[in-house]
Amino acid sequence: MVDSPLTKEFEFVSFPKLHEEVKKSVLDDPDKIVKKLKFPKPVKEKKVRNYRDMGFNNPTMANKRKLARKAHKTLKKRLPSISSLKRKADNVFSKWIRERDNNICVLKSEKCILTIQAGHLIKRGKMNTRYDEENVHALCMYHNYLDFHEPQHYIAWFVKKYGSDKYLELVERSKQIRQFKRGNFIYIIARYENKT
Ligand SMILES: [Zn+2]
């Protein structure tokens, strides 16, 4: 017997992986052998992520670390941004100031308009006096806008009411550089949200 697929006496023993179906059809009609001869596709081995391969000896530990990382990520995502906290603190503090001054412009005159805002004597850029109760008073939109160009009116009102010493103290306080972090804003929000 010659061991070749082209001969009718071909032995399949040398092709152990040949499909059973092909094998059968070839046995039935040996002439079809060249066309029908097919080998099964190689099976791709699935890549399994193994924690041991990743350098963790204890798979449970690896799971824990993975979970911790994930939790940290979500927690970080859920933390409110500094700018959103600042906005919230501004709103809460502004509301408190307006209510404290009974929604009446402290520079009350005929020119007042309806919208009341929280006007900063020393501008909001100075963080140390941004949420200072002495520095902020209710101003109508007109006077708050006027204060931007003519701050003397607001200053004069303050000096007349509280004295020049208080004003100088306020100026000194505003000079102190202060950096606000999340906690500081959260403190302001908590303090003025329910303060009456
Ligand atoms: Zn006004």
Residues 119 and 189 in one domain: yes
Residue 43 φ/ψ, nearest 5 degrees: -80, 125
With beta carbons less than 8 A apart as the criterion, state whether 4 and 14 touch: no
Residues 21 and 108 in one domain: no
| CA–centroid distance, residue 144 to ligand 1 (Å) | 7
Beta-carbon contacts of residue 158 (< 8 Å; ≥ 6 apart): 121, 166, 167
- Name the DSSP class of 176: S
User: What's the CA dihedral at 171, 176, 180, 184 to 10 degrees?
Assistant: -70
**Alpha-carbon gap, residue 179 to 32, rounded angstroms:** 86
How many other C-beta atoms are found inside a 10 Å radius of the C-beta of residue 130?
21
Residues 63 and 93 in one domain: no
Domain final position from 59, 79, 99: 79
With beta carbons less than 8 A apart as the criterion, state whether 127 and 178 touch: yes
pLDDT of 35 above 50: no
pLDDT of 45 above 70: no
Residues 6 and 61 in one domain: no
| CA–centroid distance, residue 115 to ligand 1 (Å) | 9
| CA–centroid distance, residue 113 to ligand 1 (Å) | 6
Residues 130 and 88 in one domain: yes
Say how many domains are in the chain: 3
Residues 108 and 53 in one domain: no
In this predicted model, what pLDDT tens digit does every residue of 51-68 receive, in sequence order? 565 555 666 766 777 777
pLDDT of 34 above 50: no
Distances (CA, A) of 63 to 48, 54, 57, 120: 15, 12, 11, 53
Residues 87 and 70 in one domain: no
Least confident of 22-36, 50-64, 175-189: 22-36
In this predicted model, what pLDDT tens digit does every residue of 90-147 receive, in sequence order? 999 999 999 999 999 999 899 899 899 999 999 999 999 999 999 999 999 999 999 9
Average pLDDT over residues 155-165: 95
Residues 102 and 184 in one domain: yes
Residues 55 and 38 in one domain: no
Residues 97 and 184 in one domain: yes
| CA–centroid distance, residue 154 to ligand 1 (Å) | 10
User: Which structural domain range is residue 53 located in?
Assistant: 49-79
| CA–centroid distance, residue 92 to ligand 1 (Å) | 21
Q: Write out the residues surrounding ion ligand 1, Cβ under 5 A.
A: 105, 107, 112, 140, 143
Q: What is the pLDDT of residue 65?
A: 75
Domain final position from 26, 59, 79: 79
Average pLDDT over residues 19-40: 55
CA angle 103, 90, 80 (to 5 degrees): 145
- At residue 104, what is the residue type? I
pLDDT of 195 above 90: no
Report residue 176 as tokens: 């102190």
Residues 131 and 186 in one domain: yes
Residues 88 and 74 in one domain: no
Beta-carbon contacts of residue 62 (< 8 Å; ≥ 6 apart): 51, 54, 56
Q: Between 24 and 169, whose confidence is greater?
A: 169
| CA–centroid distance, residue 195 to ligand 1 (Å) | 25
pLDDT band for position 37 (cuts 50, 70, 90): very low
**Alpha-carbon gap, residue 118 to 132, rounded angstroms:** 12
| CA–centroid distance, residue 52 to ligand 1 (Å) | 72
How many other C-beta atoms are found inside a 10 Å radius of the C-beta of residue 145?
14
